[in-house]
Chains A and B, each alone.
Chain A
Amino acid sequence: QSALTQPPSASGSPGQSVTISCTGTSSDVGGYNYVSWFQQHPGKVPRLMIYEVTKRPSGVPDRFSGSKSGNTASLTVSGLQAEDEADYYCSSYGGNNNFLVFGGGTKLTVL
């Protein structure tokens, strides 16, 4: 069982917005502003989409945004496009004894 809880699936139509949640505890998500989101297409390596809860690396479209409230972080994808269909994983710093914890992943389907 993964340390962070994500819904196994999410979906939306092109142009719509979808939000994926990531629930942890006060020892990880709630305790630090070090939540990240990764996108993984089949057969590809994960790509960093969001770091430090809300920041986007260079090259990531501003359609992707992150937020956090308490022990739950969220990734919102606005203006869904076909190429957004992928698996999305959240991660959080969890302190020295559990340095980096991942969610189980959410398969995003663009209808």
Chain B
Amino acid sequence: AQKITQTQPGMFVQEKEAVTLDCTYDTSDPSYGLFWYKQPSSGEMIFLIYQGSYDQQNATEGRYSLNFQKARKSANLVISASQLGDSAMYFCAMRGDRGSTLGRLYFGRGTQLTVWP
């Protein structure tokens, strides 16, 4: 089974600063994918970034980058130059290639990010 742990219930960051949201995972699958989603107060889960377990380089998407440390089983999200609109709940999720239901994502409990001016 897959397990995702997000240990930061809440994080605060000043506008224009960088922030790191932590995520650790546990799986026995040889191949897996790691995802980060953003959930504003409106409720929709917005896909941000993906990292494959066999990817050699850390994923980047605009202001988002994923600090992937496979040996430590961590996949932290780094948001650079924070904006007020980044205030939201952030979820780390994963899926594996064995045994899991088709397409099933396993989610952490999330981190509430607040960006202040």
Q: Do A and B bind each other?
A: no
Question: Which residue numbers of B lie inside 8 Å of A, CB to CB?
Answer: none
